[in-house]
Amino acid sequence: MIFKRLVSKTVETVKKPSQEASIVDLARKHYEKAVIITAQNSFPEFGKRWDGLSGRAKSKIQQLNTAREVVHAAQGPSLGFESRRPAEYLERAAEDIEVRLSVDFPHFSSYIQQFCDSDLSLPESLLVRNGQLVSWPMYTQVRVIMRCLSHISDVNTLLEIGGGTGGPARLWLVNPIRKPLRYVIVDIPESLFFSEVFLRHHFGNDKVSYIYSQDDVEKADDALALLVPIAAIDSLNKMSFDLILNHLSMQEMSEEWVDYYMSWLDRVRARYFYSLNYFAPPLDSMHESVNTWSPRPSGLWSSELLLYNSHRAPRSFAESLYSSGSVEVDKRFIRELMFDKMSRALTQQTLLELMDCVRILDDDEYYFTLANHILSKMPYVPRELYYIVARIRNNESVTYNKNANEIEAMMKTVKEIRSRGPEAGY
């Protein structure tokens, strides 16, 4: 009885087998076309982690027949598109998580127990709490939603870079605080297959559109969700977004893909960019990380929020919110701010703020100053030091020419440290 009541309280509906099969077949058709057009374009290499994920997904996609099979495959350990802890963990942790959410977002505390996960999700990852299905990923997504809506009250159009299984999109579109009018996902074809099945199951075919061209965008007036393979990203050129976000996947991209998306951010019309990704893990313990610093938007973006490990996770994360605009940056002030921060204890929070200073200054001399500061003040070598040293070395600027021997010694050190530990793991 509890489960039936839960289902009735959400937008979720039970599909007939024939309906589920048609959803999966349609998503597979879109996937196959997207693979073809992606192959016709020149894109950076995915990198070790996403090459592995997409390769496993390609063979699995042909074997799946129902929406439940699709979602369980994506959420399960064999594919690794989403990390889900068992419900037994939540029995111990859920109350503490909700208390932290209410402390961090008191203005939204009355909404916390109105959020729920999908009944389509892996059963072993779900817990019934206060009459709602909850899960570890759901609580992470609730934090993202509350953080963004605390800073941006009028989010109507939202774009997610890397939508995973579609879980974040669904939760945004049904969240009790403020629902966006449209949610766009840009991703690789394999990931979009899982998002498409999940979202069509929950919202119906008429509310989800697969986009290959600008014409498709113009025909999708009534759609809540637009699914855009990376090869069709230019079809969004006429759209504008209140918020672009990425959480828990940019850390897994290659350096080249991070550069690609950062360059794209400068071209797209968007007000804000939000990120929740790894920051400052030890260089010899990067786990899923493939790149050594992300995100790293250009100086056209101003930081509104920089928080290290705000959700108290066992691994090192940073929450960042940036706003776009034509405000001229006073680099003299940023330089003074940087040296003021260097006079303080070099915690991960301070490092996050210092990295933001050199991001804006965009000068190898300040990157070199920060590299020496990290080596002398931090008790371990964070992964971002590798990015700093590699950048200076690759630029061959005046800074490099003046300090070539020292920089080459740094490069040798960080390469050796990086080689000792895991990265790009599954």
What digits encode the pLDDT tens for the residues 81-112?
888 999 999 998 999 999 999 999 999 999 99
Q: Do 67 and 105 touch, CB atoms closer than 8 A?
A: no
d(CA 148, CA 146): 6
Residue 71 has phi, psi (to 5 degrees) of -65, -45
Strand order in the sheet with 225-229: 208-210, 225-229, 182-187, 157-161, 240-247, 269-278, 317-324, 301-308
Q: Do 150 and 105 touch, CB atoms closer than 8 A?
A: yes
Instruction: Summarize pLDDT for 155-170 with one digit per residue, the tens.
Output: 999 999 999 999 999 9
d(CA 341, CA 361): 15
CA 132 vs CA 5, 10, 51: distances in Å: 9, 10, 36
- State which residues form the domain around 49: 1-247
Residue 47 gets the label, from left (phi > 0), alpha (psi -120 to 50) or beta, of: left
| 64 falls within a domain | yes
Residue type, 228: V
Closest by Cα among 201, 145, 217 to 175: 145
| 402 falls within a domain | no
Instruction: Summarize pLDDT for 232-279 with one digit per residue, the tens.
Output: 999 999 999 999 999 999 999 999 999 999 999 999 999 999 999 999
Which tokens belong to 259? Answer: 């550069």
Whether residue 385 has pLDDT greater than 80: yes
pLDDT, averaged across the chain? 93
Looking at the 3D structure of the chain, how many domains does it have? Answer: 1
| 339 falls within a domain | no
| 180 falls within a domain | yes
| 42 falls within a domain | yes
Four-CA torsion 417, 420, 421, 425, nearest 10 degrees: 120
d(CA 178, CA 172): 8
Whether residue 4 has pLDDT greater than 80: no
| 424 falls within a domain | no
For 330, which DSSP code?
-
Cis peptide before 295 (omega within 30 of 0): yes
3-class DSSP assignment, residue 79? coil
Amino acid 109: pLDDT: 98
pTM of the full structure: 0.94
d(CA 299, CA 296): 9
3-class DSSP assignment, residue 378? coil
Q: Do 382 and 421 touch, CB atoms closer than 8 A?
A: no
| 426 falls within a domain | no
Instruction: Summarize pLDDT for 410-419 with one digit per residue, the tens.
Output: 999 999 999 9
Q: Facing residues of 236 across strands? A: none
Residue percentage of the chain with pLDDT more than 90: 85
Whether residue 14 has pLDDT greater than 60: no
Whether residue 17 has pLDDT greater than 80: no
Task: Work out the pLDDT band at 16, boundaries 50, 70, 90.
Answer: low
Mean pLDDT value across residues 174-197:
97
Mean pLDDT value across residues 117-132:
96
Mean pLDDT value across residues 331-353:
97
d(CA 282, CA 390): 17
| 269 falls within a domain | no
Instruction: Summarize pLDDT for 22-53 with one digit per residue, the tens.
Output: 999 999 999 999 999 999 999 998 888 888 88
3-class DSSP assignment, residue 159? strand
